[in-house]
Structure 1
Amino acid sequence: MVTPLSPAVRRKIIAFDPADPDAVTVSEFCKTLKISRRSFYTIRTRYAEESQAALHPRSSAPHTTQRVYDESVTRVLLAARADLKSRGWDYGPMSIRFEIAIEQLLDPPIPSVSTIARLLRAAGAVEANPKKRPKSSYVRFQRDQVRSSTF
Structure 2
Amino acid sequence: MSLGRYLVDAVLLEGQNLSQLARRHGISQSWAYERVARYREGGYEALEPRSRRAHSFPRQIAPEVEAIIVRLREGLIAAGHDAGAVTIAHHLRPLSEQVPSVATIWRVLSRNGPVIPQPHKRPKSSFLRFEADLPNQLWQGDLT
TM-score category by the smaller chain? 0.5 to 0.7
Match of 1:120 in 2: 109
Q: Distance in 1 between matches of 2:76 and 2:28?
A: 54
Match of 2:9 in 1: 15
Change (3 A) 1:20 1:62: closer
Q: Distance in 2 between matches of 1:132 and 1:13?
A: 59
Query: How far apart are residue 76 of structure 1 and its match?
Result: 1.7
- Does residue 51 of structure 1 match 2:47? no
Counterpart contact for 1:10–1:43, Cα < 8 Å: yes
Alignment TM-score, normalising by the size of structure 2: 0.52
Query: How far apart are residue 111 of structure 1 and its match?
Result: 5.0
Q: Distance in 2 between matches of 1:19 and 1:95?
A: 69
Percentage identity across aligned positions?
A: 27
- Does residue 96 of structure 1 match 2:88? yes
Larger Rg: 2
- Structure 2 residue runs without a partner (length 5+): 130-144
Deviations 1:28-51 (A, max 9, x none): 22x1xxx44443232222222233
Q: How many residues align?
A: 121
Query: How far apart are residue 11 of structure 1 and its match?
Result: 0.6
Amino acid aligned to 1:123: G
Alignment TM-score, normalising by the size of structure 1: 0.51
Counterpart contact for 1:10–1:54, Cα < 8 Å: no
Deviations 1:99-145 (A, max 9, x none): 302x21x5x66555444223322421x3422445657x489x9xxxx
Higher RCO (Cα < 8 Å, 6 or more apart): 1
Match of 2:24 in 1: 28
